[in-house]
Amino acid sequence: GQQVMQIPQYQHVQEGEDFTTYCNSSTTLSNIQWYKQRPGGHPVFLIQLVKSGEVKKQKRLTFQFGEAKKNSSLHITATQTTDVGTYFCAGRAGAGNKLTFGGGTRVLVKP
Amino acid sequence: DGGITQSPKYLFRKEGQNVTLSCEQNLNHDAMYWYRQDPGQGLRLIYYSQIVNDFQKGDIAEGYSVSREKKESFPLTVTSAQKNPTAFYLCASWGGTGVGTEQFFGPGTRLTVL
């Protein structure tokens, strides 16, 4: 079945630094979504990417969808303590209603 | 205030007992989902339902059962056949491509089996 892998599993970042988390799917995706889960909370939708090579920005967050629609990345600039949490990518294959979630990248920020 | 509610937030059960987790949504969404999350892990799909009176197994359905008798409700039963039921259970809903893109999640139920 479809698998979605995320690296790194953990990311310790100094406040103010940049980092990137990567997402790779075993199959071609129709779209990919990113969610953020704060400690003790539930996942909250951040963004969806649909087109090959698409790049979207949300303030300090930049999301990219690969040309082959099998990988994606999230880049955060000037990390803040509010960025703490686990970031999940989730891919949808075809026109189905299922999302396959990656294992997540847990981000810890050192002030 | 539209959203998804899950109750209770924390649940404790003895080994060998069945337990039912509640999930209710007032978003008028057709599709609903149950995920399991283990500490430090991602979300794994247990069951999902695209319409009332219909549901499909996800990736880890063994030891679980669901029903979808009403559009607003999608309860999950964790049976005694589930070998390792202690986990964080998340319910989600989706309105479909004509309505919105994202899945909305409830606050979750943390189940501990003693």
pLDDT tens, position by position, A16-42 = 999 999 999 999 999 999 999 999 999
pLDDT digits (tens, 9 = 90+) for B17-31: 999 999 999 999 999
Residues of chain B in contact with residue A9, where contact means CB-CB under 8 angstroms, are 40
At B41, the pLDDT band (50, 70, 90 cuts) reads: confident
Closest Cα in chain A, distance from residue B29 (Å) = 12
- For A50, name the nearest residue in chain B, comparing CA atoms only: B101
pLDDT digits (tens, 9 = 90+) for B31-40: 999 999 998 8
Average pLDDT of chain A? 94
Q: Rounded to whole angstroms, how far apart are CA atoms A4 and A104?
A: 10
DSSP labels for chain B? ---EEEE-SEEEE-TT--EEEEEEE-S--SEEEEEEE-TT--EEEEEEEEETTEEEE-TT-TTEEE--SBTTB--EEE-TT-S---EEEEEEEE--TTT-SSPEE---EEEEE-
Give B2 or B33, the one with higher predicted confidence.
Answer: B33
pLDDT at B96: 75
Q: Which residues contact A45 (CB under 8 A, 6 or more apart)?
A: A33, A34, A35, B101, B102, B103, B104
> Across-strand partners of B47?
B34, B57
From the list B50, B102, B104, which residue is nearest A48 (CB)? B102
Mean pLDDT value across residues A67-89: 97
Answer whether A42 sits within 8 Å of B40, measured CB to CB. no
Q: Rounded to whole angstroms, how far apart are CA atoms A104 and A38?
A: 12
Q: What are the structure tokens assigned to B105, written together?
A: 């999640």
Residues of chain B in contact with residue A92, where contact means CB-CB under 8 angstroms, are none
- For A47, name the nearest residue in chain B, comparing CA atoms only: B102
pLDDT at B39: 86
pLDDT digits (tens, 9 = 90+) for B88-108: 999 999 987 654 578 999 999
Answer whether B105 sits within 8 Å of A102, measured CB to CB. no
Strand segments (E) across A1-111: 4-7, 10-14, 19-25, 31-37, 44-49, 55-58, 61-65, 71-76, 85-92, 100-101, 105-110
Residue B25 contacts residue B3 (beta carbons within 8 Å): yes
pLDDT at A26: 95
